[in-house]
């Protein structure tokens, strides 16, 4: 799981420590709530992230590969 750094004002940091809050859990829940309320933005963010990962693979697709494979298999 990736590790991210968040910054809190001193007062919030002190309160969260005294209350024994699990900041990781709170942050995850806040993000999940935001995503639920902003589904289109979340979809676009996921799509963009997936596109970046796919481009980073530098895959090249052979032209007409499906037709060639079908011909080799004797399909129409």
In 1-76, which ranges are continuous DSSP H helix? 10-19, 23-37, 39-56, 65-73
Q: What is the pLDDT of residues 17-64, one digit of tens each?
A: 999 999 999 999 999 999 899 888 889 998 999 999 988 988 887 878
pLDDT of residue 42: 86
Please indicate whether residue 74 or residue 7 has the higher confidence score (pLDDT): 7
Of 19, 27, 32, the closest CA to residue 3 belongs to 27
pLDDT of residue 76: 59
Looking at the predicted structure, is the pLDDT value of residue 10 above 90? yes
């Amino acid at each position: 799981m990736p590790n991210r750094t968040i910054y809190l004002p001193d007062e919030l940091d002190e309160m969260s420590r005294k209350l024994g809050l699990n900041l990781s859990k709170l942050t995850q829940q806040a993000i999940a709530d935001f995503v639920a309320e902003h589904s289109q933005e979340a979809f676009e963010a996921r799509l963009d992230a997936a596109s970046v990962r796919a481009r980073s693979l530098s895959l090249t697709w052979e032209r007409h590969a499906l037709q060639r494979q079908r011909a080799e298999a004797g399909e129409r």
